[in-house]
Structure 1
Amino acid sequence: MLRSLRYSGRTSLFLGTALGALALSAQARADDDIVSKMEQEMSRLQAAQAHVQEEQRTINHDMALLKAEIARHHASGASPTRTASPHAEQIATQENHSGHIITASVHHHGNKTTEPPETSGTEREMTASSGSEPVRGAHARRDRVSLSPSGRDLIDTGKGSELAVVGHRAEDVLVHFAENGVGPHPRETVGAQSAGAIGDHGVFHLGPVTLMLGGFVDTAAVLENRHIASDTFNYWQDMPYPNEPRYHTNNFDGGARYSRLSLLARGNIDAESTISGFFESDFGAGAVTTDPYESNSYSFRLRQAYLAYDDNTEGWHFLGGQAWSLLTPGRAGIVARQESLPETIEASMLAGQTWSRQWQVRIVKDFFHHRLWTGLSIENPATLYDTTGFSNMNGAVAMPNGSTVTIGENGVGLTNDTTNFSNEIAPDVIGKVAYDPVWGHYEMEGILHFPHDRVTMGHTGHNNTAVGGGAGGSMILPLIPGKLELRMAGLAGWGINRYGSVLLPDATLKANGSPDPLFGVQAQAGIIAHPNPRIDVYGYFGTQRVGHSYFNQNGGSYGYGNPAYSNAGCLQELSTLSCTANTRGVSEVTIGGWWRFFKGKFGTVEAGTQLAYSRRQIWSGIGGDPHTSMSQIFFDFRYLPFQ
């Protein structure tokens, strides 16, 4: 009986265990089925959500097109069906709540408006990640819209399109260009930074106005075999001869004074016209109290400050304020912040480079789908006089015939009281024509300048006005679009030498006291390569030369480049003989490169180095015309938080 009960107990325990295991196995299978079904349902919901988001983007896209069309026709005061021009096309861009861009085109054929063929979500929407690597080598086309920070990564919007968005946000600046293989500046390059490129990270809204930040923190240094106290800004005319001890000493200098801040404010008047203001500043000025011994406190200075109005429909562009001169070579059309500037580290850029930043009022018109551009600018005049041989007291020059010539006055009030501001009767008048065919960018320009002074003899006097001017041009040839380009530029004329980096004199004085414009020529050529998206390599040659004009009277020698001047003491250290050394020309050859070794959402960090060799020649005098030279190596690090 007892054995029977024990057997029965063991049997019950076994059966209970087996049934429990079966129950657990069934529960596990049920749980697996539930999880599988939940995963399938989640996948279905995600697919449905993606479909809804795609539909929402399509609706947003259609609404953007409709709003742009309504705004354009409200602005023109006509109905859409009566004002649509044949074969015209518009590009509409809109940023949705997630920060993505929606881009599309509307075709007009006669009085009928049609939508473009259906495109995929990828074609309608591109989001440029700040940490992604841009594709080097693509170039801008009129039938594409660029959504990347560098102006690459293109998306088709139909043939005939005329606008390109440089940047991956709709708030960024619209740049007009033709399909020339050159296109707008890749924003991350040093040439673009020099021209005033804005960032794509620091973008803010204040009501209807969009604010965009730009600039960088810069720390640069130079090691040179001559001592010239101008740090990384080359002042070539101060290049010493062996008669000065500083010719025989090396020099190292570094600083952060060329760190830069910029701000662009832009508002859309309607779908096709904008008003904008640009401000750019650095610490490149030296105050009277600036010294290298304690705080190195360089002064905040104005680089650019201008307002601009652009009418995208009619092709009119207006600019007023302080900006790069219209004589500065450009890169695409005649567009602000698209100037063609060297990628060099030296703050003076390159001997032979044509440029100035000054007040101006500029009007530009483009034709033929942004292929041909014409511009006219009146700009702040300044005549750089040389008065070698004369007695010059704050712009009052004593002539050998007893008269006094007033060519200017030292600054007063809020201007620099150690700088002479020349007399000027009229602004410089500058005109330019730019052409963008299917390959390359080409420019021709001309300038008129009017040096002005007053001659006083006894208690009476009279004014004199000379006419100077010149012409030049530039070109950019995309040997391998996006990879390798050749740049060339030049300018020649009378009284226009201050537009070159070397700052050779514009004029001297004739025997009767009237201004005598000096002939000059400046030219530069460079090869710029982009082996990959993070590296830029360059090589440049530049030169600037000036003529001479002089007279001898009453036993004295006057003017610029007079052969009666003495250069006999130029080659002997601390010589008691003279070394007048009127500069005849300066040439520079340089090579260098930049490496963007960090790039992401935090911005861009880049390093650069440059080797430069410069040679200075002088006008022959007593003792001949010896030359001098200088070798330099530059180093630079930059952090661009908004790029």
Structure 2
Amino acid sequence: MNNNLKALAGMILMATVVAAQGQTDASSTAKKPATRKAHHAVEKKPSIESQIESLRQEMDSQRSQINSLQQQLTQKDAQLQQAQQAASAAQSAAEQAQQAANAQQAQVTETTQNVASLQGAVSDLKTNTQSIVTTVQDQQAQVKKAIESPDTIHYKGITLSPAGSFIEAATVWRSGATGGDINTPFTSIPLEYSDDAQISEFFGSGRQSRLALKATGKAANATLTGYYEMDWLGTGITSNNNQSNSYVMRMRQLWAQAAMNSGWTFTGGQMWSLATETTQGLSNGTEILPATIDPQYVAGFVWARQYGFRVTKNLGTKAWIGASAENAETLNPAGSSLPLNEVIGSAGTGGGLYNSTANYSFNLAPDMIAKVAFEPGYGHYEVFGIARFFRDRVYPNANSTSTSGTSAGAYNDSTVGGAIGGSARLPLATKKLTFALKGLYGQGTGRYGSSTIADTTLRPDGQLALLHNFSAMTTIEANPTKRLNLYFNYGGDYVGRRYWGKEGYGSTLTAMSGCNTEPIPGTAATNSGSGFTPSTPSNCSGNNKDVQEFSTGYWYNLYNGPMGRLRQGIQYSYFRRDLWSGAGGTTNPGGGAHGTDNVLETSFRYYLP
């Protein structure tokens, strides 16, 4: 700044000197005419001292101006410095303010996050509180329900449930009398010309009412279960081992089970045969039975309810395998003109706790059954096989038609039978309609068909001969509403003929000439009174060929809720029993015979919840 002032002062000084010089020259030029005019008065010239003095004064004035300018510049510098300082202070203040603003913003952001976190925590607390309240309320409701209306009874770590128990009032009307309760004896459907086929029968019964109790306990690596189920459909006179082991009071099921967490399940006791179709894998308790009122179910239905020891394995959620050893029983050999030189079993003895009026076979081994079940995502499918082991003791030197002869050369004869079977159950129309098909084909398995049709006959020499058997049933069920179930069943049990001349099963030489003639009543009154001895036609002793049944009905839930279930049902069934043809005559040229029956059943049931 000082150098600038000095330069400015120099310029001013030079400008002053130049101006003074110009004035001197002008004065000299102006004075020349005066010399020419000498006659004018001579003017007085300024002195050099005065000019210098004047110049000095001008310089002092200019110096004064310069000093003034310098002071102004100094003031401007001071002001500029102050302004710079103020700007610097302002910048610093602005930076501080920005930092403070950033800090404030960060604090605001943190506060916002804290508020949001706090709001979330409050919301979670509200949700958790509501969840806790709901849980507590649910638990209170469950405790109240468990106290006031428990689904199960708890006893020392196990649960007891009577689910499956019901009381029934049932009726049955048949167009042809069978002399039976609500169980229909399929192989005893009266022939069309028998005297009992000409008269109907009606019975009312509560004997199918059922009691059930299931006990379940959880162990560390398994679920333990015991199950008991009984009804009143057995009698001390007819109880036997043929199909349902129906001893009084009738033990329907009585088994114990260990279901391991690894997927293995071990079950032992009296239960539905592994041959019976199930709906969930191979689990006991999920057997799918025809929706019928008749306790004998439907012709063609494959089942047994007997002792068994079963092992199954869950292979995941879509496949199961299982095997069982089950009680064996050979139905009495059927046929005509059968030999008497063999022993297969005996009537029950009191000491053996068997029914003394029923025959029990001397079994070689239990029936063996293996099964695979599939649930690929649509429907339920099963494939199974049955192996059966038959034997008798043959006396070749005994008279085949009497007890004469000797026991020399007696031997035990044995043979193996079996069958393959399967089932498929398909849900249709968004599970409102179900189609099912099941069947069994093989030799010596008549007792597994619902008709308990024959499974063996005898050769002329007394050896056992197995019969071909076929059982099949088709089912359609509809559930148009939650209350209503409609069902349609068609099935049948068939047995093939096997004979040697007049001996064997289904012989074409069997007398069938009297099948089309109604007989007169029998002469022996088993009840010590008249009118209780209906008879079958004479000379009409052909063997059963098949039994077929068509049945349809409905179940309607009048009530289904926490107090249990109240159901009502009506069913109509049409039966046809055919005999193998034989030697006919003028009254029966074809040599065949059959019987039909129309059956109407009703049921009114109350199930425990």
Contact 1:409 1:422 in 2 (8 A): yes
Matched, 1:568 2:487: no
Cα deviation per residue 1:290-349 (whole Å; 9 max; x = unaligned)? 9xxxxxxx952100000011123x111111110000001111211111112100001111
Q: Report deviation, 1:51.
A: 6.3
Q: Report deviation, 1:482.
A: 3.2
Matched, 1:588 2:549: yes
Q: Secondary structure at the match of 1:532?
A: coil
Which of the numbers 513, 530, 549 marks the counterpart of 2:498?
Answer: 549
Matched, 1:468 2:414: no
Match of 2:184 in 1: 234
Matched, 1:519 2:442: no
Q: Secondary structure at the match of 2:197?
A: helix
Matched, 1:428 2:367: yes
Match of 1:257 in 2: 207
Which of the numbers 348, 353, 357 marks the counterpart of 2:305?
Answer: 357
Match of 1:412 in 2: 349
TM-score normalized by the length of structure 1: 0.65
Match of 1:15 in 2: none
Amino acid in structure 2 at the alignment position of 1:513: G
Q: In 2, Cα distance between the equivalents of 1:282 and 1:516?
A: 36
Structure 1 residues 274, 289: closer, same or farther in 2, change over 3 A? closer
Match of 2:275 in 1: 327
Which of the numbers 479, 483, 486 marks the counterpart of 2:435?
Answer: 486
Contact 1:323 1:360 in 2 (8 A): yes
CA RMSD of superposed structures (Å): 2.5
1:381-460 equivalence runs, <5 A: 381-390=328-337, 398=340, 404-413=341-350, 414-456=353-395, 457=397, 458-460=406-408
Q: In 2, Cα distance between the equivalents of 1:429 and 1:242?
A: 39
Q: Report deviation, 1:201.
A: 5.2
Which of the numbers 253, 260, 263 marks the counterpart of 1:311?
Answer: 260
Contact 2:369 2:386 in 1 (8 A): yes
Q: In 2, Cα distance between the equivalents of 1:349 and 1:242?
A: 23
Cα deviation per residue 1:592-621 (whole Å; 9 max; x = unaligned)? 000111223321111000011011111010
Q: Secondary structure at the match of 1:247?
A: helix
Cα deviation per residue 1:108-133 (whole Å; 9 max; x = unaligned)? xxxxxxxxxxxxxxxxxxx9x9xxxx
Q: Secondary structure at the match of 1:531?
A: coil
Contact 1:569 1:579 in 2 (8 A): yes
Amino acid in structure 1 at the alignment position of 2:175: N
Amino acid in structure 1 at the alignment position of 2:308: Q
Q: In 1, Cα distance between the equivalents of 2:508 and 2:468?
A: 17
Q: Secondary structure at the match of 1:266?
A: strand
Q: In 2, Cα distance between the equivalents of 1:510 and 1:201?
A: 61
Which of the numbers 132, 135, 144 marks the counterpart of 1:55?
Answer: 132
Cα deviation per residue 1:2-45 (whole Å; 9 max; x = unaligned)? xxxxxxxxxxxxxxxxxxxxxxxxxxxxxxxxxxxxxxxxxxxx
Which of the numbers 556, 564, 587 marks the counterpart of 1:603?
Answer: 564
* Structure 1, 453-462 or 48-57: larger mean CA deviation: 48-57
Which of the numbers 625, 630, 635 marks the counterpart of 2:592?
Answer: 625
Matched, 1:99 2:124: no
Unmatched segments (≥5 aa) in structure 1? 1-47, 61-94, 101-126, 130-168, 170-199, 291-297, 392-396, 399-403
* Structure 1, 239-248 or 562-571: larger mean CA deviation: 239-248
Number of residue-to-residue matches in the alignment: 441
Which of the numbers 310, 318, 324 marks the counterpart of 1:377?
Answer: 324
Contact 2:191 2:595 in 1 (8 A): yes
Matched, 1:529 2:489: no
Matched, 1:578 2:539: yes
Contact 2:434 2:478 in 1 (8 A): yes
Q: Report deviation, 1:464.
A: 0.7
Q: Secondary structure at the match of 1:466?
A: strand
Contact 1:354 1:491 in 2 (8 A): yes
Q: Secondary structure at the match of 2:187?
A: helix
Q: In 2, Cα distance between the equivalents of 1:377 and 1:600?
A: 37
Amino acid in structure 2 at the alignment position of 1:99: Q
Match of 2:174 in 1: 224
Q: In 1, Cα distance between the equivalents of 2:434 and 2:161?
A: 29
Q: Report deviation, 1:58.
A: 6.5
Amino acid in structure 2 at the alignment position of 1:203: T
Q: In 1, Cα distance between the equivalents of 2:430 and 2:417?
A: 39
Matched, 1:640 2:607: yes
Amino acid in structure 1 at the alignment position of 2:541: T
Q: In 1, Cα distance between the equivalents of 2:475 and 2:332?
A: 31
Which of the numbers 333, 336, 340 marks the counterpart of 2:288?
Answer: 340
Higher helix share: 2
Unmatched segments (≥5 aa) in structure 2? 1-124, 240-246, 398-405, 521-536, 585-590
Cα deviation per residue 1:261-317 (whole Å; 9 max; x = unaligned)? 0000111002x6201100000000123499xxxxxxx952100000011123x1111
TM-score normalized by the length of structure 2: 0.69
Match of 2:108 in 1: none
Matched, 1:499 2:448: yes
Match of 1:614 in 2: 575
Contact 1:221 1:231 in 2 (8 A): no
Q: Report deviation, 1:639.
A: 0.5
Q: Report deviation, 1:384.
A: 1.1
Contact 1:509 1:559 in 2 (8 A): yes
Structure 1 residues 598, 462: closer, same or farther in 2, change over 3 A? same
Structure 1 residues 59, 273: closer, same or farther in 2, change over 3 A? farther
Q: In 2, Cα distance between the equivalents of 1:563 and 1:99?
A: 70
Contact 1:386 1:559 in 2 (8 A): no
Q: Secondary structure at the match of 1:284?
A: coil
Q: Which runs of 4+ in 1 moved over 6 A?
A: 48-51, 56-60
Q: In 1, Cα distance between the equivalents of 2:597 and 2:575?
A: 5
Q: In 1, Cα distance between the equivalents of 2:348 and 2:430?
A: 48
Q: In 2, Cα distance between the equivalents of 1:201 and 1:567?
A: 63
Cα deviation per residue 1:425-481 (whole Å; 9 max; x = unaligned)? 011110000000110111000010011100123223110111100101001001134
Structure 1 residues 637, 59: closer, same or farther in 2, change over 3 A? closer
Contact 1:507 1:518 in 2 (8 A): yes
